Amino acid sequence: MKRLLTISILFVSISCQQNTKNQQSTANQQEPLNEEKIDPAIVVEDTSEVIQPVTNNNGVEPDKLELTEPTVVIVKLDSLESEELKKADGEDNFYTAADDLMWYNSQLLKKLDSTEVSVKYTKQNLIKVVTSTSEFNISKDSTFSLFTYFFFDGESFKRTELFELLGY
């Protein structure tokens, strides 16, 4: 239980710190960016959460994931984003939380393997998820942690938490 509390507090504080840094870096930008809107925001079925549209791709194509069966999509931070987390909270705290998170993630992978639910990983900042009935665009932001989870149950697609997937 202490690990869960430690992980939760760590990621909340890191998310808040990253949001402040993102706002500061946005305010410091002077050069206009090539913005191309792909799709409007999509409200995900069975939840009030909105998955943000891809609004600025700077010429980079989004990672396209085609989902036809129940799948967990795990969006991982890239090495630069991980380094920012490390700086924000200190190396000791980062490695302790990352170790705990990786243990819980391994438990999830065992559970998903036994239930034959597919797992797809991506580190891309822009992700286009295509199902048989809909398309969803995901853009990494300051709310993303070391691993951020999305679940497609065969019909609806939504962002979810690791412990919800584990059944805790």
pLDDT at 151 over 60: yes
pLDDT recorded at residue 55: 46
The structure tokens listed for 117 are: 């639910």
pLDDT at 117 over 80: yes
pLDDT at 2 over 80: no
Q: Which residue has the higher pLDDT, 131 or 30?
A: 131
Averaged confidence pLDDT in the chain = 76
pLDDT recorded at residue 30: 42
Cβ 54 vs Cβ 141: under 8 Å: no
Q: Which residue type, as a one-letter code, is found at position 130?
A: V
pLDDT recorded at residue 21: 45
The structure tokens listed for 143 are: 């709310």
> 3-13 burial, b for 16+ CB within 10 Å, e for fewer?
eeeebeebbee
Q: How far is CA 22 from the centre of its chain?
A: 16
* Mean pLDDT on 112-127: 93
pLDDT recorded at residue 128: 94
Cβ 52 vs Cβ 141: under 8 Å: yes
pLDDT grade for 116, boundaries at 50, 70 and 90: confident
Q: Which residue type, as a one-letter code, is found at position 150?
A: F
Q: At what angle do helices 91-115 and 79-89 cross, to 10 degrees?
A: 130
pLDDT grade for 168, boundaries at 50, 70 and 90: confident
Domain ranges for the chain: 2-166
Residues 45-103 have pLDDT tens digits of 443 344 544 444 556 678 899 999 999 999 999 999 999 999 998 999 999 999 999 99
The structure tokens listed for 160 are: 């979810």
CB neighbour list of residue 106: distance below 8 Å, 6 or more residues apart: none
